Amino acid sequence: MNKKTHIATALDAIVPDKIRYDAYVKEVLADVQILARILKYSVEELKELSIDEIILCIDKEQIEIGKVPVAPGLTNLGKIKGTVTEDTVLNEGTVYFDIRFPVYYSGRTIKILINVEAQKSTNSSKLGYHLENRIVYYLSRMISSQKDVEFFNSDYDNIKKVYSIWICMDGANKKDSIQEFLFSQKAIFGEKQEYPFLDKMRGVIICIRKAENIEESKNKLISMLEDLLSKEDHVTKKQKLIEKYGIKMTVELERRIGDMCNLSDIVIEDAIKEGLEKGMKEGMKEGMKEGMKEGMEKGKIVLVKTLKELGKSKEFIVEKLMENFSLTETEAKKYL
């Protein structure tokens, strides 16, 4: 059996806050200004439009956020009355989408169904599956669920194109990227025939990096998402979104960002506290035999490990070592 890391144990103790934080992230990503920027860099049909034009393409009343617990007062923000976020198929269970909504373009004559997912990990060993297989499944369900909604009987020409866009938050330092996959056609034998409607399903993976103090991405969408989901305080974050990306800070968006940032601070601080206490207890057990000094050393090591697993900067780690163990800056830096 694999032994849990200290950070895993700490995070297990704050599951309710983790769930609420995830809900706030989805609320922020579902803001129409954020969605418009995601669509510009992900949806082929919209890439030549301005952000303001894309905002007009989004059916704001049809933005549906997945059914996860959120704080009082936010429950009904942006919820729709028509499209559902779950597709139930007999003997297949239920799938919940993070964010789902339609867009209309070309004079609102063409409709596309969009799904946006916030994904913390792409590691198949952690997930138990490869992410691309899950995306294929989501795309398939978005197509099949159109039966008796977008098309009836055998009227398959009315099937609407679907996009499933995944924002993956565990990219390595230089692994920021946007990947697209779709049906392709090739002639195995004979002259190639034209099948122009094989574009009904497209999957997009947007890889953003979680480390702090990294070089800014050369892609504007990735740069915005990394700033939006960074560990910076909400004042700094809002200033960047306004000045760098031209986002209008509405009362609703400002509240969502503030809630997300405040809860992020709680999650981190609780994880530090839990990890530190556990490390100190283990260290003190050893300290009974080897001396109090060794016990304290164990606690320092665990604190550093905990903060590194949280992706915190060296400067932040040094600050916490100094704060929790009354060390000088020079002494704290030795533990890095």
1, amino acid identity: M
Q: Which residues pair with 182 in a beta bridge?
A: 202
Q: Please answer whether residues 324 and 303 qualify as being in contact, where contact means their C-beta atoms are separated by less than 8 angstroms.
A: yes
Name the more confident of 307 and 150: 150
How many residues can be counted in the chain?
336
Which helix (H) or strand (E) covers residue 206, if one does?
A: strand 201-209
Give me the mean pLDDT over the 100-108 stretch: 90
Residue 69 pLDDT greater than 60, yes or no = no
Q: Which of 39, 32, 82 is nearest to 62 (CA)?
A: 82
Question: What pLDDT is stored for residue 50 in this prediction?
Answer: 96
Domain spans in the chain, listed from the N-terminal domain onward: 31-230, 267-333
φ, ψ of residue 48 in degrees (nearest 5): -90, -5
Exposure on the CB side of residue 60, measured as CA atoms within 13 A = 9
Given a cut of 80, whether residue 282 has pLDDT beyond it is: no
Contact 274, 14 (CB under 8 A): yes
Output the average pLDDT for the chain: 77
Distance between CA atoms of residues 34 and 224, nearest Å: 9
d(CA 209, CA 169): 6
This prediction's pTM? 0.70
User: Environment class of residue 202 by beta-carbon count within 10 Å: exposed (0-12), middle (13-18) or buried (19+)?
Assistant: buried
Count other C-beta atoms under 10 Å from residue 67's C-beta: 14
**Which is higher by pLDDT, 132 or 298?**
132
SS3 at position 112? strand
